[in-house]
Amino acid sequence: MSETTSPSDTPFTDGEKADIRRYCGYPVVGSAGAGFSEWYCFPAYGALEWKLNGLSGVEYVQGRVYLSQLDSLETGILSAAGSLDTAVAGPWTRNANEIQERSDLFFMWRQKLCRFIGVPDGPGLRRGGGIVV
């Protein structure tokens, strides 16, 4: 019988935070010394950073579950792209909508992560029109 490992309840690593920002549609923040610490100009960014650093143990576990799911979905989209050149192979026929369907599912899970954390979708997660300033 194999053991299953539960996600850690420790604070997120810098890499996990970068993935969460990316999945939530927020741009990179750069290094701490880059001068972009005036979050009052960007309240949603500040809320995200504050929450990433102050979750409870069970929330870190749940956040890692979301990260695992999103990593898998993103990999699935990239894997599906490998068969774009095959319309028919023997009895198998490629699903012409596979990448769009996978992308839609990935997009939905990205939105779910934003809702879990409690921040609005970042600029990179908005579909359609531009950003209103």
Q: Give pLDDT tens digits for 92-122.
A: 666 778 888 889 999 999 999 999 999 999 9
Task: Flag whether pLDDT at 68 surpasses 90.
Answer: yes
pLDDT at 48: 92
| Residue bearing the bigger pLDDT, 65 or 132 | 65
Helices 57-80 and 14-23 pack at an angle, to 10 degrees, of 60
The domain ranges of the chain are 14-124
Per DSSP, the residues of 13-63 read PHHHHHHHHHHTTPPP---GGGS---GGGSHHHHHHHHHHTS--HHHHHHH
Task: Flag whether pLDDT at 129 surpasses 60.
Answer: no
pLDDT at 114: 95
Residue 71 DSSP label: H
What six digits make up the tokens of 54?
A: 């102050």
pLDDT at 98: 84
Contacts of 31 (CB under 8 A, 6+ apart): none
Task: Flag whether pLDDT at 57 surpasses 80.
Answer: yes
Q: Which residues pair with 92 in a beta bridge?
A: 89
